[in-house]
DNA sequence: CCATAATATGAGTCATTACTCACTTTACAT
DNA sequence: ATGTAAAGTGAGTAATGACTCATATTATGG
């Protein structure tokens, strides 16, 4: 971590106008992802990203004003599908089905690229991301609370705490599973659902 | 992260012989802890640690051959009490009491210095620590499995998976609680125990 | 074609940081 | 007292890594 210069801008420097530029941005993001999952935060630096992308360091800084902006863009790319899945659960009616859907979405997300997800989770905690409401965790908590409001949901003392705990259980379990290389998402989702329902329904 | 030199030695360079030296080592470790919990991994560097400790950088390297060795020593200092507590549970007889004891130990550990524990957890995953068996997680899993073997324990399909999942649930919940500043360890321990027992006893 | 904007390049700059070493100071044993 | 080993010092070294900028190449509209 050399140079602690401006780190205020987190949004992209400029949008790519031509298809060529869009491709460059995509390649840069994928290179960043690969480095993070292979070398971890330790080996994650902009020079390495540019090299791995086969793009000059100057091009990287055409689109991202600084390293954190690149990280944020990657977080957004990685969580896009998860957020779609989470929002889709809003359509579901019923407590159990809702919970099953949310758990399945979280498991699928984390098992897609476990090491990457873990690094980005850590970075998200450090970055001054835009409004808390936009953060992935907060949006999942919102979906959880909607499930808790279903007619067939168990009675809960404090929905906020229940949502936070549920999210923590899911994150903890899928994170650990990803780390030890577990790949069977069906079995994992079943166990996570068991833990979550056990927590929520136990008197 | 400048210089990627020798990082093989993880044990202290030499033991302090005089009381003065032992004090210096202790001060260095505490300075490292404070920096980690205030500035995170980002601001954690040996020069800063030495300065905060009011000790010269040279002295730091008298006792720690490299930065990782310092981190490892800090991990050992921080987890010492936890491991004592975990081993003490071995005396307990009975499944429920054993689980209660383990959960209480984990909660107490993480709430002691939440931000620090989180950083060290992350670092432990990266460091080539001595034998897996020595790692904190592995030792807790061992204690869990001993609980699972109690006569009054629920029947479990796969103890290894159950232990790993249980540890993940505990870690996830206490980690999240620490992050959002929850301080009531009794309430937290109760909820964690509920989650764990819910997971283990649900058919 | 040509003008202009968009995109791409990469050597170079400068701050940061892990770590060394020649040296001084302090404590202890005899 | 004094020799010796332990402890402490901090300026300095070299590597690293974020980021700039002058310049070159490519695309697009007229």
Asked if A162 and A99 touch (Cβ cutoff 8 Å), the reply is no
If you write DSSP's letter for every residue of chain A in order, what string do you get? Answer: ----------S-SS---SHHHHHHHHHHHHHHHHHHHHHTGGG--HHHHHHHHTS-HHHHHHH-SSHHHHHHHHHHHHHHHHHHHHHHHTT--SHHHHHHHHHHHHHHHHHHSHHHHHHHHHHHHHS--S-GGGSHHHHHHHHHHHHHTSTTSPP-S-HHHHHHHHHHHHHHHHHHHHHTT---HHHHHHHHHHHHHHHHH--
CB pair distance less than 8 Å for A165 and B180: no
- pLDDT tier, B1 (very low <50, low <70, confident <90, very high otherwise): very low
**For testing contact with chain A, the best of B5, B48, B173, B201 (most A CBs within 10 A):** B173
Any idea what the Cα angle at residue B193 is, between residues B187 and B194, rounded to 5°? Answer: 90
Smallest CA–C1' distance to C28, residue:
B18
Residues of B in contact with A171 (CB under 8 A): 172, 176
Average pLDDT for residues B141-165, to the nearest whole number?
95
Asked if B149 and B104 touch (Cβ cutoff 8 Å), the reply is no
- pLDDT tier, B12 (very low <50, low <70, confident <90, very high otherwise): confident
- Partner-chain residue, chosen from B1, B173, B197, that has the shortest CB–CB distance to A165: B173
Asked if A73 and A12 touch (Cβ cutoff 8 Å), the reply is yes
Average pLDDT in chain A: 91
Question: Left (φ > 0), alpha (ψ -120 to 50) or beta: where does B94 sit?
Answer: left
- pLDDT tier, B3 (very low <50, low <70, confident <90, very high otherwise): very low
Specify the pLDDT at position B73: 95
DSSP B203: -
Any idea what the Cα angle at residue A82 is, between residues A176 and A90, rounded to 5°? Answer: 120
**pLDDT (tens digit per residue) in A1-46:** 444 445 567 877 777 778 889 999 999 999 999 999 999 998 999 9
- Which of A156 and B7 is assigned the larger pLDDT? A156
Give per-residue burial for B168-181: e unless 16+ CB within 10 Å, then b. Answer: bbbbbbbbbbbeee
Specify the pLDDT at position B68: 95
% chain A with pLDDT above 90: 77
Rounded Cα–Cα distance for residues B72 and B42 (Å): 17
Specify the pLDDT at position A14: 73
Place of tokens 């061992």: B142
Specify the pLDDT at position A15: 79
**pLDDT (tens digit per residue) in B56-88:** 999 999 999 999 999 999 999 999 999 999 999
Specify the pLDDT at position B132: 54
pLDDT at A132 over 70: no
pLDDT at B131 over 60: no
Half-sphere exposure of B129 (CA within 13 A, CB side): 21
- Which of A19 and A130 is assigned the larger pLDDT? A19
Average pLDDT in chain B: 91
Q: Which residues of B touch A (CB under 8 A)?
A: 1-2, 40-42, 122, 125-126, 161, 164-165, 167-173, 175-177, 179-180, 191, 194-195, 197-202
Q: What residue in B sits closest to A44 (Cα-Cα)?
A: B1
pLDDT at B26 over 70: yes
Give the global pTM: 0.88
Specify the pLDDT at position A51: 97
């Amino acid at each position: 971590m050399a140079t602690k210069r401006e780190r205020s801008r987190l949004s992209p420097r400029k949008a790519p106008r031509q298809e060529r530029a869009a491709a460059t941005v995509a390649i840069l993001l994928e290179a960043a992802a690969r480095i993070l999952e292979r070398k971890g935060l330790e080996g994650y630096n902009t020079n390495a990203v540019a090299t791995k992308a086969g793009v000059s360091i100057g091009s990287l800084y055409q689109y991202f004003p600084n390293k954190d902006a690149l990280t944020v863009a990657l977080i957004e790319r990685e969580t896009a599908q998860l957020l779609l899945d989470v929002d889709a659960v809003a359509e579901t009616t019923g407590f159990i089905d809702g919970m099953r859907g949310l758990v399945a979405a979280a498991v699928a997300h984390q098992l897609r690229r476990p090491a990457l997800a873990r690094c980005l989770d850590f970075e998200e905690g450090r970055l001054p991301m835009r409004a808390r409401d936009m953060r992935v965790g907060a949006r999942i908590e919102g979906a959880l609370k909607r499930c808790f409001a279903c007619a067939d949901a168990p009675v809960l003392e404090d929905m906020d705490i229940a949502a936070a705990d549920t999210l923590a259980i899911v994150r903890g379990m899928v994170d650990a599973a990803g780390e030890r290389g577990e790949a069977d998402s069906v079995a994992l989702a079943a166990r996570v659902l068991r833990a979550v329902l056990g927590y929520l329904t136990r008197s």
